[in-house]
Amino acid sequence: MTSTDYLKEDVVEYDQAVRTATATWRDLVRDVLSRGQEVRQEGRGHEPRSRTTLELVGHQTRWPMARPLVLCPERKIGRRFAAAEPAWILSGDNRLASILPYARHLANFTDDGVRLSGAYGPKFVDQLPYVVGCLSADPQSRQAVTALWRERPGPSRDIACTLSLQWIVRDQVLCCVAMMRSSDVWLGIPYDVVAFSCMSAAVAIALRSRRPDLVRELGDLVLTAGSQHLYAIDHDAARRCAAADDQPDCAPLDLGEFASERELVDHLRAVADHAPTDKRWLAELAESPR
């Protein structure tokens, strides 16, 4: 593989009629396993040292935001966390104590034992009024962007993986363009797709409260990763997942189910805590005690 081949942008697209998040993820796993270049990285601080990855640089995938769940039995998703994390983000929270009951390992990523410095919530909630105002004033706008990256970040256990999210409305469909510096195929992306889809749903719900005719449904999440990678320790499990060919799907989002962003947050928290709910979106996460 030449350096030119290694740095070229890779675009993976699938049949819109049959595509599910599970099928998209399995194709992504196969792509990285078959074409990824081996990279050996030296860890720093809390990071594992000398972990080897297969990596594709400048890689792009498209995900259906209305059906964002990766439902692969071989990849045991922490289902409570998958619902709790977007609720945490949409609340503008960055406190470790709020998310720790759903993901104990996050205690390894705090600098002060109180907050996670790379948390998306504060920056997203701060910029949400701008995004909604921008698209309400001009539905064709290309300026509805939130920056999640901390400029000139100092030493930290929690450096944000996402640089920015952009929302574009076309033909009453809201799409999201995510730019990530680093995306782990196995550990991260099944959760990131859910989180970005929920953040987009919050944008859509806020827009509909201002202009009911502006957004009819969620479209694609277009995710570009500077480094799309898979750690060697996960290769065997990833190969088992890639060998499967079933395409389980989740219940689709009906934006009309939620009258406000608060209703969406309350629903996600109920799903995370297995509380009764009459909302169907992402309810599959509550079907497992995990």
Please report the pLDDT score of residue 15 as a whole number.
44
Cα-only R_g, the chain: 18
Interacting residues of 261 by C-beta distance below 8 A, sequence separation 6+: 90, 202, 205, 206
Please report the pLDDT score of residue 287 as a whole number.
75
Domains belonging to the chain, first-starting first, are: 61-224+246-287 (3.30.572.10)
Please report the pLDDT score of residue 16 as a whole number.
46
Look at the pTM and tell me if it is higher than 0.95: no
- For residues 71 and 80, give the distance between their C-alpha atoms in angstroms, rounded to a whole number: 14
Q: Which residues pair with 145 in a beta bridge?
A: 166
Interacting residues of 54 by C-beta distance below 8 A, sequence separation 6+: 32, 33, 36, 37, 38, 39, 229, 230, 232, 235
Interacting residues of 34 by C-beta distance below 8 A, sequence separation 6+: none
Q: Which residues pair with 40 in a beta bridge?
A: 52
Mean pLDDT of 73-83: 92
Task: Please check the confidence at residue 112 and state whether its pLDDT lies above 50.
Answer: yes
Closest by alpha carbon to 263, among 30, 271, 123, 289?
A: 271
H helices of 138-272, where? 189-210, 235-243, 261-272
User: What interhelical angle do 79-90 and 189-210 show, nearest 10?
Assistant: 40
Q: Give yes or no for a contact between 241 and 190, defined as CB atoms under 8 angstroms apart.
A: no
How confident is the model over 206-224, as pLDDT tens digits?
999 999 999 999 999 999 9
> Does residue 68 or residue 48 have the better pLDDT?
68
Judge residue 240's burial from the number of C-beta atoms within 10 Å of its C-beta, 0-12 exposed, 13-18 middle, 19 or more buried: middle
- For residues 157 and 177, give the distance between their C-alpha atoms in angstroms, rounded to a whole number: 26
Mean pLDDT of 48-62: 86
Mean pLDDT of 110-129: 97
Q: Two tokens at 39?
A: 């990279």
